[in-house]
Structure 1
Amino acid sequence: MADSEHSSSDDTNADSQEETNEGSKLEFSEDEETLIIRMYNLVGERWALIAGRIPGRTAEEIEKYWNTRHSTSE
């Protein structure tokens, strides 16, 4: 019984830690922002290709950044 309780708390801690890490990773430097914009203008929404040019970034992070900063709902 103690094992199942322990697993539940680990899952909760992992989820909150992941959200914290995700929030901080969405902070991009000016160089990264410039590169994302330039690459987007060249290749469009090919997030994996853009992420390949920015060490430590995933396609999902870059797409989320783009969608929050450059939404087309104008």
Structure 2
Amino acid sequence: MADSEHSSSNDTNADSQEEKNEEPKLEFSEDEETLIIRMYNLVGERWALIAGRIPGRTAEEIEKYWNTRYSTSE
């Protein structure tokens, strides 16, 4: 019985952590945004190359930022 209660609390904690990981909005400075736009216009969706020009940023962060901010799903 204690095991099932423990599992339930673990499941709740895992759900909370997943929500926390998805919730934080990626915040980029104005300079970073400008650089991302300029680099995208030059090299396209080469996120790793763009990330290499912005210290502390990963290709995944930049791609996610681009897709949420500038996605062309029209």
TM-score in same-fold range (> 0.5): yes
8 Å Cα contact 1:25-1:61 kept in structure 2: no
CA contact (8 A) 1:51 1:59 kept: yes
Deviations 1:12-65 (A, max 9, x none): 879866865775571000000000000000000000000000000000000000
Deviates more, 1:24-33 or 1:1-10: 1-10
Structure 1 residue aligned with 2:18: 18
Task: With the length of structure 1 as denominator, give the TM-score of the two structures.
Answer: 0.70
Runs of 4 or more, structure 1, over 6 Å off, are: 1-15
The percentage of counterpart residues that share the same residue type is: 93
Structure 2 unaligned segments of length 5 or more: list them. none
**Which runs of 5 or more residues in structure 1 are unaligned?**
none
With over 3 angstroms needed to count, the CA separation of the structure-2 counterparts of 1:35 and 1:8, relative to structure 1, is farther
Evaluate the alpha carbon distance shift between residue 50 and residue 16 of structure 1 in structure 2; reply closer, same or farther with a 3 A threshold: farther
Name 1:7's counterpart in structure 2.
7
- The 3 A distance-change label for structure 1 pair 28 and 57 is same
- Per mean C-alpha deviation after superposition, the further-off stretch among 64-73 and 18-27 is 18-27
